[in-house]
């Protein structure tokens, strides 16, 4: 089982649950949902989400995603991008993701054990 991760606000998760489908704001503006591998998630979090609270991480079973996933080069690393809405039955776990006191993130144990 391959797992990719996506960081979002808890409100977006709560909004998506009744519909069973998640639409990231970047799906409309960029054409895809940004994701990371477990090895990339902390760098992504500290670069784009520093000091933000009320976040969650979606743990996504890659094989269950109905939309196309492409691994694309960004600064010499390949990041998974979902080209379409995310069907929530592919989300195997949602983890609370809060920054440390210095505003930076550390890898949650639940992600480290994936």
What integer pLDDT is reported at residue 6 of this predicted model?
98
Token pair of 83 as six digits:
């080209």
What integer pLDDT is reported at residue 55 of this predicted model?
98
Domain range spanning residue 16?
3-97
- pLDDT tens for 63-85 read 999 999 999 998 878 999 999 99
The reply to whether 107 falls in a domain is: no
> What is the number of domains present in the chain?
1
- pLDDT tens for 94-111 read 999 999 999 999 999 888
The reply to whether 16 falls in a domain is: yes
Give dist(CA 62, CA 46) in Å, integer: 23
The reply to whether 49 falls in a domain is: yes
The reply to whether 29 falls in a domain is: yes
The reply to whether 32 falls in a domain is: yes
Helix (DSSP H) and strand (DSSP E) numbers for the chain:
4, 8
What integer pLDDT is reported at residue 47 of this predicted model?
95
- pLDDT tens for 14-69 read 999 999 999 999 999 999 999 999 999 999 999 999 999 999 999 999 999 999 99
CATH number at residue 46: 3.20.170.20
**Backbone torsions φ then ψ of 98, nearest 5 degrees:** -110, 145
Give dist(CA 9, CA 74) in Å, integer: 23
Query: Are 58 and 94 spatial neighbours (Cβ–Cβ below 8 Å)?
Result: yes
The reply to whether 110 falls in a domain is: no
């Amino acid at each position: 089982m391959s797992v990719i991760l996506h960081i979002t606000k808890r409100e977006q998760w709560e909004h998506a649950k009744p519909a069973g489908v998640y639409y990231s704001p970047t799906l409309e503006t960029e054409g895809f949902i940004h994701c990371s591998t477990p090895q990339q998630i902390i760098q992504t979090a500290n670069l784009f989400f520093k000091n933000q609270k009320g976040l969650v991480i979606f743990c996504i079973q890659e094989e269950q995603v109905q939309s196309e996933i492409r691994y694309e080069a960004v600064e010499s690393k390949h990041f998974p991008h979902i080209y379409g809405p995310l069907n929530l039955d592919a989300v195997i776990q949602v983890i609370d993701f809060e920054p440390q006191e210095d505003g930076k993130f550390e890898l949650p144990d639940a992600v480290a054990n994936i």
